[in-house]
């Protein structure tokens, strides 16, 4: 009996769970030796350095879109307390600005963000699927 169970080597035998004929693998670009190159999807599935780079580029573009929206939001809503503090009697104007004038730019900003995020994902899928 070995002293440390982690040092014991185990040989696993049996058929692979999912096997496809080599011709189908080559036609789909999944066989590493048949087509001469890996597709990006294979790189991502196998978690290679190139696949990691693909995923990081998607994450970076999504982060860039989120940071842009956050910056515009800060520039839009951030100065409002200073503006309201500078006005002596502007309670009615404050309610009008907060109740009606802020929402249309927020809706447009949210719509832009959703469209940009979907476009980033669509571009990524197009890259991965080789279309």
Mean pLDDT of 101-130: 91
Question: pLDDT per residue over 72-102, tens digit each?
Answer: 999 999 998 898 888 888 788 888 888 898 9
From the centroid of its chain, how far is CA 47? Answer: 16
Cα 112 to Cα 107: distance, rounded to the nearest angstrom: 9
- Residue 39: helix, strand or coil by DSSP? coil
Contact (Cβ atoms closer than 8 angstroms) between residue 25 and residue 16: no
Cα of 79 vs its chain's centroid, Å: 31
User: pLDDT digits over 29-73, tens only?
Assistant: 444 444 545 566 666 666 777 777 778 888 999 999 999 999 999
Structural contact between residues 33 and 22, judged by C-beta atoms closer than 8 angstroms: no
The token pair that represents 119 in the structure block: 């476009």
Angle (deg, nearest 10), helices 49-77 and 103-128 = 170
Section 106-126 average pLDDT? 94
Which residue ranges make up each domain of the chain? Answer: 20-128
Alpha carbons 16 and 120: distance in angstroms, whole number:
36
């Amino acid at each position: 009996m070995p002293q440390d169970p982690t040092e014991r080597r185990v040989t696993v035998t049996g058929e692979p769970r999912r096997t496809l004929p080599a011709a189908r693998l080559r036609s789909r670009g999944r066989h590493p030796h048949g087509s001469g190159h890996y597709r990006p999807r294979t790189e991502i599935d196998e978690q290679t350095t190139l696949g990691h780079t693909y995923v990081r580029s998607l994450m970076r573009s999504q982060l860039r879109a989120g940071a842009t929206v956050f910056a515009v939001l800060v520039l839009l809503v951030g100065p409002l307390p200073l503006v309201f503090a500078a006005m002596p009697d502007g309670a009615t104007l404050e309610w009008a600005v907060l109740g009606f004038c802020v929402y249309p730019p927020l809706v447009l900003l949210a719509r832009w963000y959703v469209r940009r995020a979907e476009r980033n994902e669509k571009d990524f899928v197009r890259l991965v699927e080789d279309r």
